[in-house]
Structure 1
Amino acid sequence: MARTLPDLFSAAVRRDGASPFLTYYDDTSGERIELSYLTTANWVAKTANLLVDEYELEPGETVASGLPPHWLGVVWALATWSTGASLTTGQGDLAITGPDFSVRGKRETVASALLPLGGRFREPVPDGVQDYGAEVYNHPDGFFPMDPPTEDSAAYDERTHADVISTASTVPRRVLTTKDLIAPDGLDLLVGVIAGGGSIVLCRNLDPAKLDQRVADEKVDEVIN
């Protein structure tokens, strides 16, 4: 049984890395992207290497997110845990924000333009802010932490990896949701899907008129909102 969140995700990749993990829609921009477990793992490794090599994130430090419900939020959560750092709902040592620059880290702020495939900003970012899309592609697809987390390491505010894993119900199904999967009320769903080998259709700015057809097109078993 996996004792940490990176171990849980690695087990899912080994089990069936080619299977769908996260399908993302934004009905305002028209974006759709589908990530397998393996493709997600590549993004997680690149991001974890970026966090350690460029921003010197250390085990025990914290990362705050100002991203909306988005596939990159999931990548950042998994990358943060891989480094031994934890997510926080307060001000983090590092912060990842969207193009509204709504949060700032204590010592480092990284922003994503939220363009398809994690693309870079088309305009200069504010002083003191790093452009995620301009830097992440330069990093390797494999991450090997020097000091990996343990089951007792902090994962989310005061919750340890063991706490987060133990409270999540296994979800082996394909679910559609509008939840922010790295917010407190969405975390259990994310971890449950990883544990159960299920998959998620994450919809931002969902057009209610498209819901029934999307459920049919994506072969969704359950809608969870």
Structure 2
Amino acid sequence: MSRVLPELFATAVRRDGARPFLTYYDDTSGERIELSAATTANWVAKTANLLVDEYDAEAGDTVAIGLPPHWLGVVWALSTWSAGAALTSGTGTIAITGPDFAIRGERETVASALLPLGGRFREPLPDGVHDYGAEVYNHPDVFTAFDALTAASPAYDDLTHEDLISTAEPVAERILVTRTLTDRAGLSLLVGVISGGGSIVLCRNLDAAKLERRVADEKVDRVDNVLEG
């Protein structure tokens, strides 16, 4: 098995890039988006190019993800590793925040309006905050890393790529969750799904009355850690 996370994900894309990888629902907005592994890889490449070309991300930098449970959190996690940087639960060199602007990065702050298809903000942003939706589409969907990762490279706080991969239980099922996938427990699940060939149905603002039907419609094998809201 691959010992660095970008290669682990690349292996999953090569294995079956067309199959659903991440299906996202927001029951407040009514949004549903389904990302195959290949489509996710395109978003990851664009975002990694944005990180490197516009924000000078490199080995030694950290990225803080201040998003609610959202498909873009997964994209940013994978993009951070592709760029050679590491995720952090603290203050990052670079931060990605939602429309609440809840966190700031030490060097760069990027915000997403969390609109469908990663759309841009409709109102001006605070000074010093970049609009992810306005900038990401300008970047190519193929990424070539400058910094070579190793199994010992930092991945999340004090955990290495080897740590995250070796401790994640492979998940071959289609699993429905409502939790963030970018904290320690969420990353373990995400890495397990990538390594095991499973898929995720991520529900934000879950309407409990829709749960049973959604499980059936999405052919979910397991419901995990579901919380209301």
Report the secondary structure of 1:33's partner residue.
strand
Amino acid of the structure 2 residue aligned with 1:86: A
Match of 2:164 in 1: 164
Structure 2 match to 1:199: 199
Query: For residue 29 of structure 2, what is the amino acid of its counterpart?
Result: S
Cα shift readout 1:130-151 (whole Å, capped 9, x = no counterpart): 0000000000010001113111
CA distance in 2, matches of 1:48, 1:70: 18
* Residue 130 (structure 1) aligned with residue 130 (structure 2): yes
Distance apart, 1:184 and its partner CA: 1.5
Count of matched residue positions in the alignment of Structure 1 and Structure 2: 225
* Greater than 6 Å deviation, 4+ residue runs: none
Could you tell me which residue of structure 1 aligns to residue 103 of structure 2? 103
1:26-77 alpha-carbon deviations (Å, 9 max, x no partner): 0000000000000000000000000000000111210001100000000000
Question: Which amino acid in structure 2 is aligned with residue 205 of structure 1?
Answer: N
Alignment of 1:134-149 (within 5 A): 134-149=134-149
**2:21 corresponds to 1:21:** yes
**Are the aligned partners of 1:3 and 1:150 in contact in 2 as well (CA < 8 Å)?**
yes
Deviations 1:169-199 (A, max 9, x none): 0001100001101111211110000001110
Aligned partners of 1:83 and 1:148 also within 8 Å: no
What is the distance in 2 between the residues matched to 1:148 and 1:184?
24
| Counterpart position of 1:32 | 32
Supply the AA of the counterpart residue of 1:202: L
Corresponding residue for residue 74 of structure 1:
74
- Specify the alignment match of 2:93 in structure 1: 93
Inter-partner Cα distance in structure 2 for 1:40 and 1:6: 12
Match of 2:6 in 1: 6
CA distance in 1, matches of 2:2, 2:85: 18
Query: In 2, Cα distance between the equivalents of 1:68 and 1:130?
Result: 18
Give the Cα separation in 1 of the matches to 2:183 and 2:204: 14
Q: Could you give the per-residue CA deviations for residues 149-175 of structure 1, whole angstroms, max 9, x where no partner exists?
A: 111000000000000000100001100
User: When the two structures are superposed, what TM-score results if normalisation uses the length of structure 2?
Assistant: 0.97
Which residue in the other structure is 1:45 paired with?
A: 45
Letter in 1 for 2:118: G
C-alpha separation between the residues in 1 aligned to 2:182 and 2:5?
Answer: 13
Question: Structure 2: which amino acid aligns with 1:23?
Answer: T
The whole-number CA distance in structure 2 between the counterparts of 1:148 and 1:98 is 30
- What is the RMSD of the two structures over their aligned residues, measured on CA atoms? 0.5
Counterpart code for 1:188:
S
What corresponds to 1:151 in structure 2? 151
Q: Aligned partners of 2:25, 2:46: CA distance in 1, in Å?
A: 23
Alpha-carbon separation, structure 1, partners of 2:156 and 2:148 = 16
The answer to whether the Cα contact below 8 Å between 1:52 and 1:58 also exists between their aligned partners in 2 is yes
Q: Aligned residue for 1:179?
A: 179
What is aligned with 2:223?
A: 223
> Equivalent residue for 2:116?
116
Unpaired stretches in structure 2, ≥5 consecutive residues: none
3-state SS of 1:186 partner: helix
Separation of aligned partners in 2, 1:103 and 1:149:
27
What runs of 5+ residues in structure 1 fail to find an aligned partner? none
CA deviations over 1:66-120 (Å, ceiling 9, x no partner): 1000000000000000011000000000000000000000010000000000000
Q: Distance in 2 between matches of 1:155 and 1:113?
A: 26
